Structure 1
Amino acid sequence: MAANEVPSETPSEVRGEARGETRRRASRYVVPVAVAGVAAATIGLVPALAAAGDPDLPEITAQQLIEKIAGSETQTLSGTFRVSTDLGLPALGGLASGLGGQGGGASTADPAQKLTELVSGTHTLRLAADGPERQKLTLLDGSDEYSLIHNGDDVWGYDSKSNEVFHEKGASEGPAAEGKELPATPKELADEVLKAAGDTTSITVDGTARVAGRDAYQLVIKPKQTGSTVASVKIAVDAANGTPLKFTLSSVEGGKPVVDAGFTKVDFARPDASVFAFEAPKGAKVTEGAEEAGKSRELPENFEKDFGKEFGGFGGPGGLGKGLNVLGEGWTTIAKLDTGAPAPRTDEAPKELQGFLDSFGDKVTGTFGSGTLFKTKLVNALLTDDGKVYVGAVTKDALVEAANSGK
């Protein structure tokens, strides 16, 4: 064990376990298309550029640095950070409209719609926070801006390009509250990774860095297991207050990081209260969250019957086919689902979907039979021809081995 590696007696909070026709036809391809969504959810928000010249800081062990992060009392900050995401996915443009216009009636200011842009490419954001009750995130896109503001019981989303506003009252009880459970800052990203650390994980301190004008230690997290798609996670931690400043997730495939997220500028002073104030601009279209949620619950006619028929029990009394099983542990955990029905053929998919599915799907064979592997740089899924699905942040070989085992 390296001198600065976390011992096996890591505290439990750190060692915790990782935790119409077109529409009818399109419903058959929910599982493979959802791979992209799973990968996006795994990522959250992220990035920053470190300045040249590593600072000379006192030595610190990985255990001490983790405790510094856990003990950070940072409640206020404002700054700019950049998010770069590369899942290795084909272009998604036009896919939504190709699926019969699903989601087309949603407000462009709805966070669930707008923040999906962070799944790919590089984006610049401004962030402000004043404790758990007030946060503001602004996504910059040329002269256009999208702002998401949480102020007490109110959540506002504003899209300047369309001049649309999304508003939700009583956010602590609505969908916005669920959204707050997702990692939204480098610190939350770091917390999620650290919770997954255990005997399957190596955690070390690997030098120092200068990030957003701040001295920082570099915490490096790597799987000890083979078969994971994750090569490493690197977190730059503010040497003074323990706040994570940058988060980088690299894939075993190499190339650009899957996620590279960090502050380029940061200030820990309390932002002015006016930063979190919002009033809908004159002439803006305002959509209330409860109203939008009601629309999203309206399914196409015969959806449940068709979906259950096409996917062997999904949406029907049988629930998720024959059930969901979890195989393995740690970084090589695989979720297995038996749909109880033969897999759909991609050549029968709507033409808007065929190119997308074929571009990130490979035919594979094994003692289990044959199937299609849908791949990203982070999350992969194997859909066998007899209707079993294996999904995880693991390599192709690991998925095929799991299928061959017949578990």
Structure 2
Amino acid sequence: MAQIQPRNSRRKAVRYGVPAAVAGIAAATVGLVPALASSGDPDLPKITAEDLVAKVAKSNVDHMSGTIKVNTDLGLPSLPGGAGGGGFGGGPQSRHKGGEGGEGGEDGAKGKPDASPDKKLMELASGEHTLRFAADGPDKQRLSVIEDAAEYSVVRNSQDVWAFDSASNTAWHAKAPKDGHGKGGHGKGGHGKGGPAAPDGVTPQKAAKQALKAVGKSTSVSVDGTAKIAGRDAYQLVLKPKNAPDSTIESVRIGVDAKNGVPLKFTLTPKDGDKPAVDVAYTKVDFGKPDAGAFDFKPPKGAKVTEAKPHEKADDAAKGGKPDLSGLDIVNKGASDWGKVAELDTGLPGGVGSKNGASGKGDGQKMLDSFTDEVKGDFGTGRVFSTRLVNALMTDDGKVYVGAVTKEGLVKAANAAAE
């Protein structure tokens, strides 16, 4: 891999623990979804929504490569001293500590480089990014985030999972589990439950898999015409919530390859406007077998290499910092799948408005007021942190309620949990 000279930056990421975690949950909830305008709608045979969903489920493409455009606008609020919403997940500039030859990394103020995917790929939660992706079966994959003067890559080759940040010349290494091989094909958007790690968490395939989990009685499914995506004929599958008045989601649109059923484009649009919150789409795609050398990696001379700690799983890191919400308690179990709210107990009574969180006086309170709203209910008092899709209610007794629902929906769920 060609080395790119590191660059210096004098910008520092503004780090606020709870909002940063919420930004991560937002990324997890939406699955990092897609778009990009296409032209020349092809004339394709009619297909039912049921058959198109089945076509996606049956797709099994092991070999592919291409360029992906990711455009994310979650509506993260600006913070004092930060660069807008990028202050939560960090932008390309937030990687490095300012100063001549200064070391960077997501450890921010500590100035320690860190190339692990769970930190670096959080940058995709804001702004526009270009990625290159390649796969040769379930155990050989490569994802590279292309920047103006740097490149960040996650490479899986058999059990070895490497990540490398050319800007700081740092690398990270982990071992994928031995028992996951062969479980699930790439075209199905996954590699088996608990299977081998794969740097495919931000592809249209993975986003589509997450969205299609919601297909059921609470979802309206339809085929809305055709499109040309990355030069290929595609059907447009549309999912919309039903009986979910508190949901923040208007629709999910998936561009499905007409020939092999692979999702090429995924667009999630919130109710607050026509502009997508997250767009991910292939602009170029090739279903031929990639060159074997694409999955070879050796840290360049002088690179600082960090080995994953024993408690860190390569599977978890390869998800790109997106927390697993499956283990959280759903407090409004009777709600539509699109309106469910999860509860997390932080174990920190006092919430964000006390000495355990932000200062309750002066500048600290002004900062808190600038990006949260105070709410009250049967549960007590708390603060709501809002994005265009995912909102979180942080109560004064240390509970966090999060979901792709409105502020009112969160309050109702918290009140129900307090009964």
TM-score bracket, normalised by the shorter chain, equals: 0.7 to 0.9
Alignment counterpart, residue 163 of structure 1, candidates 166, 169, 173: 169
CA pair 277-325 structure 1, distance change in 2 beyond 3 A: closer
Choose from 113, 122, 133 the match for 2:139: 133
- Superposition map of 1:234-313 within 5 A: 234-290=253-309
- The answer on whether the counterparts of 1:110 and 1:166 sit within 8 Å (CA) in structure 2 is yes
Distance 1:60 1:158, change over 3 A: same
1:116 to 116, 119, 122: 122
* 1-structure distance, mates of 2:392, 2:21: 10
Distance 2:258 2:405 in 1: 33
- Please state if 1:349 is matched with 2:354: no
Q: How many residues align?
A: 350
Amino acid at match of 2:25: V
Per the alignment, do residues 115 and 223 of structure 1 end up closer, same or farther by CA in structure 2, a change over 3 Å counting? Answer: same
- The equivalent position to 1:76 in structure 2, one of 63, 84, 98, is 63
Structure 1 distance, partners of 2:381, 2:288, is 58
Change (3 A) 1:103 1:214: farther
Cα deviation digits, residues 75-101 of structure 1 (max 9, x gap): 111110100111110335667899x95
What SS class does the counterpart of residue 402 from structure 2 fall into?
A: strand
Give yes or no for the alignment of 1:226 onto 2:245: yes
Equivalent residue, structure 1, for 2:339:
332
Query: Could you say which structure has the larger radius of gyration?
Result: 1
Question: Could you list the per-position Cα deviations for residues 211-243 of structure 1 after superposition, in whole angstroms to 9, with x for gaps in the alignment?
Answer: 000110000000002111111100000001101
Give distance in 2, aligned partners of 1:334 and 1:182. Answer: 27
Distance 2:229 2:363 in 1: 43
Confirm or deny: 8 A CA contact 1:165 1:284 kept in the other structure. yes
- Would the aligned equivalents of 1:154 and 1:171 in 2 still touch at CA under 8 Å? no
User: More displaced, 198-207 or 383-392?
Assistant: 383-392
Amino acid at match of 2:30: I
The answer as to whether partners of 2:34 and 2:268 remain within 8 angstroms in 1 is no
- Classify the secondary structure of the residue corresponding to 1:378: coil
Residues 164 and 285 in structure 1, CA contact (< 8 A), matched pair in contact too: yes
CA distance in 1, matches of 2:202, 2:263: 12
**In 1, are the aligned partners of 2:155 and 2:199 still within 8 Å (CA)?**
no
2:325 — aligned with what?
none
1:64 maps to which residue? Answer: 51
SS of 2:282 mapped into structure 1: strand
Q: Which residue of 1 aligns with 2:29?
A: 42
| Higher alpha-carbon deviation: 272-281 or 179-188 | 179-188
CA-based RMSD: 3.4
CA-CA distance at 1:324 after TM superposition: 4.5
CA positional deviation for 1:342: 4.0
Greater helix fraction, Structure 1 or Structure 2: 1
SS of 1:327's partner is coil
SS in 2 for 1:362: strand
What residue identity is the alignment partner of 2:131? L
SS in 2 for 1:118: helix
1:379 counterpart letter in structure 2: V
What is the alpha-carbon distance in structure 1 between the residues aligned to residue 245 and residue 387 of structure 2?
Answer: 18
- Give the alignment's TM-score, normalised by structure 1: 0.76
Which letter does structure 1 place at the counterpart of 2:385? Answer: F
| Runs (5+) with no aligned partner, structure 1 | 1-26, 295-322
Unaligned stretches of 5+ residues in structure 2: 1-14, 78-83, 98-105, 181-193, 314-327
Quick one: distance in 2 between partners of 1:87 and 1:198? Answer: 26
SS of alignment partner, residue 29 of structure 2: helix
1:146 is the counterpart of 2:152: yes
The aligned amino acid for 2:221 is I
